[in-house]
Amino acid sequence: MEALDTQQQAARDWFEDLRTRICNAFEEIEAEAGSDARFDFLPWEREDADGGDGGGGVRGIMKGKVFEKVGVNVSTVGGSFSPEFASQIPGAEEDPRFFATGISLVAHMANPHVPAVHMNTRFLTTTKRWFGGGADLNPAIAYDEDTEAFHARLRAACAAHDPTYYERFKKWADDYFHLPHRGVDRGVGGIFYDRLDAEGDLFDPHFAFTRDVGEAFLDIFPQIVRKRMDSEWTDEDMGKLLDFRGRYVEFNLLYDRGTLFGLKTGGNIDAILMSLPPLARWK
């Protein structure tokens, strides 16, 4: 993989630092619950189309008392898109070379009253440069106050940068995290954005926004977990969780852009599919 420029290195460093702080925060929650669960970190490498260094990443997985399965992955990859895939990526039509770095997180919780969650932020470069990402809450048993708190924190992160961001990116999440074949949403939403221009003078403000999305997630989600993790639950509650997870699996395998990008660029299969829950059901 080619040497990283200043912007690429800054983005990579930030995503890796955020990964460390998120993992520490989740391990603290496990410790509070009387669990000694910790993350296992598994590095992986990728070959580019010519058999050379295509970058790689680290897959972090923890299975504990509160977090039934949580994956926090970071990756930094580069190479060339296939001609078919290059036609779908901005700036890759004329030059298929690309660079991508980011963090991706999915947490499936043991207690049906604690919502699952997804968060990712990323920086991509071809002949163009842009940021993308977001966070969304996925409860099997929804609580309005949790939904409101999650959205309020993301709204504040957006408002610090552009008063139009929250409504725009909330709608994007509502439209994106939807299963059209079932006519249902994957969860209670959040924000989603992509192709946020990072050319020239736009890199610094849009990198700052992307960092604030990560900070907002790290602030609010542990609060929600601590509020719900000791809730009593029934077999009926667990059934709702397993049914909900079936819908989650369907979305991630049929529609998720990150899954498609990872598969099309030769990423680590276990890291790509870490979003899938350990147990789900279809009736």
| CATH numbers and ranges of domains, the chain | 6-275 (3.40.1500.10)
Rounded to the nearest 5°, which phi and psi values hold at 40?
A: -100, 125
Residue 262 sits at the vertex; the CA angle it makes with 258 and 267, to the nearest 5 degrees, is: 150
Query: What is the rounded distance in angstroms from the CA atom of residue 250 to the CA atom of residue 181?
Result: 10
Long-range contacts of 183-189 (CB under 8 A, 24+ apart): 184/247, 186/136, 186/138, 186/247, 186/248, 186/251, 187/115, 187/116, 187/136, 187/137, 187/138, 187/139, 188/115, 188/136, 188/137, 188/138, 188/139, 188/142, 188/147, 188/150, 189/136, 189/137, 189/147, 189/151
pLDDT of residue 277: 96
Q: What is the pLDDT of residue 261?
A: 82
Instruction: Give residue 237's pLDDT.
Output: 98
**Burial of 226 per CB tally in 10 Å (0-12, 13-18, 19+):** middle
Which residues are part of the catalytic machinery?
118
Q: Where are the beta strands (DSSP E) in 151-244?
A: 178-179, 184-185, 189-197
Angle in degrees, CA 231, 71, 227, rounded to 5: 20
Which residues of the chain register pLDDT less than 50? Answer: none
pLDDT at 265: 79
| Pick from 161, 147, 119, 141: nearest CA to 224 | 147
What is 188-202 written as a DSSP string? SEEEEEEEEE-SGGG
Model-level pTM greater than 0.85?
yes
Element containing residue 123 per DSSP (H, E): strand 116-125
